A and B are shown apart, each in its own frame.
Chain A
Amino acid sequence: MASIRLSVPQTARKGEVIELKALIQHPMESGYRRGSRGEQIPRNIITRFECLYDGEIVFSADFHPAIAADPFLTFYTRAVRSGTLAFRWTDQHGEMWSDTAALTVT
């Protein structure tokens, strides 16, 4: 289980632009490096990140080998209604990690 850290405001005013932050523990091994014996270290990266606000994608990103380990994203969305923000990472093998946070809009 990968460690995930989320930063989501608990409450926001309707129409306010809110900052969301998401950090996940992942080696993001590029596939270009070699080990101490010269053997190639196989690529192992997250390829897709999505943030869903009540089921609707409000932010997504495709990751490539140049992204550093433990990728950290900061992005914004507009608070329109109370609901759940779901954060979802998928790696190259199809394994998925996710976490959610509740947002109350007043």
Chain B
Amino acid sequence: MKRRSPALAIAALLAACTPSPTTDADLPAADIQSGYAFLTAETQAMQNDSFANPGFLWVDLGSDLFESAADGAPSCVSCHSEGLAGVAATYPAIDEASGDLLNVEGRINRCRIRHQNLPALAYEGGELLALTAFIANQSAGTPISVSTTGASASHYRNGRDYFYTRRGQFNLSCHQCHDQNWGKRLRGDTISQGHGNGFPAYRLEWQTLGSLQRRIRDCDSGVRAEPKAFGDPAYIDLELYLSSRASGLEMESPAIRR
């Protein structure tokens, strides 16, 4: 029998200790649960009732914006007459023309600049949230499925690194709460698995609809790290990793979250 070299044995040991860069072994697919599963029955009922769910105020506004044309620019619907069902479930995705990784907000703003000759909308402004909610809502019920290969591969790795990197005065990584300790209690709440499938979501804490990046900024400031600016490439890469980690989970936007 051929003896394995010590170097190979160490490499094998390291591989066993370090999570593989291409799988999400710390959250097995069978264990994936939407943030919905961590809500109280009352909050779930609020999300289920498409009338009582205040997120639909933004979906309604987004629908109007999608169909209206400003200052002679073509409307969104003039290109996307078939609607955008299922599209948001594949984002963040690579923009072929520029090679940039774009989330839904970034795609909307890219379309505005490129095809509508309109200025980009501000993050967390009412109009961008409304359009994002309207487009994401068309994917409600569609399982998340993003590409993490080819041009997306490096973004996926960056996002994954962000997720596993300890940060802030508390020296905590996303992974420690949302992979290792989900289901346990933190202050008065149950720690969720940290999926973005309900965003843009109406958070009761915010008393308004907000983007996934706003939620991520809250997590960063929660561990006493300095949040990055809205639309920062590191956050878009993180969104890609989050979507990949939530593969197969159904989209719920506009969801209600605590």
Q: Which chain A residues have a beta carbon within 8 Å of chain B's beta carbons? A: 3, 5, 7, 21, 23, 25, 27-28, 68-70, 72
B51 touches A3 (CB 8 A): no
A70 touches B51 (CB 8 A): no
A7 touches B51 (CB 8 A): yes
Q: Which residue of B lies closest to A70 (CB)?
A: B54
B52 touches A3 (CB 8 A): no
A70 touches B57 (CB 8 A): yes
B207 touches A25 (CB 8 A): no
A27 touches B207 (CB 8 A): yes
* Interface pairs (20), CB distance under 8 Å: A3-B57, A3-B61, A5-B51, A5-B56, A5-B60, A21-B51, A21-B52, A23-B52, A23-B57, A25-B54, A25-B57, A27-B207, A27-B208, A28-B207, A68-B207, A69-B207, A69-B208, A70-B54, A70-B207, A72-B54
Q: What separation, in Å, do the CA atoms of A70 and B58 have in the docked complex? A: 11
Known contacts A5-B57, A23-B52, A68-B207; can you find 10 more A-B pairs with CB under 8 A?
Answer: A3-B60, A5-B51, A7-B51, A23-B51, A23-B57, A28-B207, A69-B54, A70-B57, A70-B208, A72-B54
Q: Which chain B residues have a beta carbon within 8 Å of chain A's beta carbons? A: 51-52, 54, 56-58, 60-61, 207-208
A72 touches B57 (CB 8 A): no
**B208 CB contacts on chain A under 8 angstroms:** 27, 69-70
Q: Which residue of A lies closest to B207 (CB)?
A: A69
Q: Which residue of A lies closest to B46 (CB)?
A: A72
Residue of A3, A69, A72 most packed against chain B (CB within 10 A): A3
Q: What separation, in Å, do the CA atoms of A2 and B79 have in the docked complex? A: 28
Q: Which residue of B lies closest to A29 (CB)?
A: B207
Q: What separation, in Å, do the CA atoms of A106 and B110 have in the docked complex? A: 52
- Assuming the A-B contacts A3-B61, A5-B60, A23-B57, are A72 and B52 also in contact, with contact meaning beta carbons closer than 8 angstroms in the complex? yes
Q: What separation, in Å, do the CA atoms of A23 and B60 have in the docked complex? A: 12
Interchain nearest-CB distance for B182 vs A (Å): 28
Interchain nearest-CB distance for A44 vs B (Å): 12
